[in-house]
Structure 1
């Protein structure tokens, strides 16, 4: 059975964890410590939650107020728009059964699972804007690995995978520009699936901004089903 949206939202939080996450007066708050929007945004935990409370909590952490808007958050979305909050990074959420990615043998020396990440992997992530603060996010996940791809005897790309409640979510997929269009992303996803299946996971999941057309095409081509969306709204000041 395909995981439902609450299961997938929790998998996002557990496989790409904030430094701290807690619920306060109807809000789920996250201390991101520089790790990006996913670990810094507030999300609504009760329908009557006061936006001012969340704004104050985020400012107290030194974070610009940022909200994650999920399925069913229409009223909050409208309220934030009325306060001048702008939409940032609409995201697609994809899922498929893990065995749909383990049916093809991976060519030798094409993709490897490695933890902890090698220096070359950190370099590839850095080239894609994934620096030390986001690497710290990876270290906080419980059941995890990293994927290194090689193509034409050179590094091709990297990815991070972690499991929660039977769902292996792949994050931080980065393919070097000169290696794109070669199937590097496909083989990394398949390697992550082989690892996930060996750990007992039943489903793979991945997040992708709607504007990243090549990546969306990759996941759709692998058979991932689009099961949900979310976006952020950020304070104008």
Structure 2
């Protein structure tokens, strides 16, 4: 199940660069999204030794921190091995899943087939992204082949944004955000419900999303809509190499 869901999530948001090694895929995209800038296990028992050299070399070439996204597919010792190497453990998260069912789509939510500049600016503003982060994420989304791009309008202005991408018959929800001054009004539930209804109409047999364990308001919202915990994951991350360092491909300990 985990292998299949992970594959769907990757297909729904493909990285700009993906290098496959035995049991892993190393993903590089730039921008703020960690899942497309990390090495991800693809099969059960994926051995860390099979990916470390390639991952460190590739991230050094892109002046990015080496980052591993550790799901239950990784070998049991992977986390402790990376801890011993000085990589910090961050962003305890969950993949959650549910089966969407056909339902009317909230008329306040419009769903387009592609990302526009106004939509991107709204999302970036809600998430507090810099111009570089916004532009990097826009470049990533331009490569997604099939998706529904949702905008929720309240009081005549866009206040909610979200995407459902598709992979192997599953809809992967991401970039879900509500403007800061409109939160706590049930708009997030309306937005996600509309995206799920649209995904069901498009033939999705399952929906999935990824959320921080510490984000209890979001976790509560998703549980209320029928999502259940499928499996946990977290990241181990180093620091980017100094551009002036002659030792390219090496990583500082932390």
- Length-normalised TM-score, structure 1: 0.89
- 2:92 corresponds to which residue? 90
- Length-normalised TM-score, structure 2: 0.83
Q: How does 1:93-104 map to 2 (within 5 A)?
A: 93-99=95-101, 102-103=102-103
* Contact 1:25 1:53 survives alignment (8 Å): no
Q: Secondary structure at the match of 1:142?
A: coil
Residues 230 and 152 (structure 1), Cα distance of their counterparts in 2 relative to 1, 3 Å cut: same
- 2:79 corresponds to which residue? 77
1:172 matched to 2:142 = no
How many pairs are equivalent? 230
Q: Supply the distance in 2 between the matched residues of 1:184 and 1:194 (Cα, whole angstroms).
A: 15
- 1:59 corresponds to which residue? 60
Q: Supply the distance in 1 between the matched residues of 2:215 and 2:50 (Cα, whole angstroms).
A: 33
Counterpart pick for 1:122 among 120, 124, 127: 120
Q: How does 1:22-37 map to 2 (within 5 A)?
A: 22-24=19-21, 27-37=24-34
1:39 matched to 2:36 = yes
* Contact 2:171 2:208 survives alignment (8 Å): yes
* Contact 1:112 1:148 survives alignment (8 Å): yes
Deviation sequence 1:139-174 (CA, Å, 0-9, x none): 212211200001233222100111111110111111
Q: Supply the distance in 2 between the matched residues of 1:26 and 1:189 (Cα, whole angstroms).
A: 33
Q: Supply the distance in 2 between the matched residues of 1:198 and 1:71 (Cα, whole angstroms).
A: 32
Structure 1 residue runs of 5 or longer lacking an equivalent are none
Structure 2 residue runs of 5 or longer lacking an equivalent are 240-251
Q: Secondary structure at the match of 1:12?
A: helix
- 1:13 corresponds to which residue? 10
Q: Supply the distance in 2 between the matched residues of 1:230 and 1:63 (Cα, whole angstroms).
A: 21
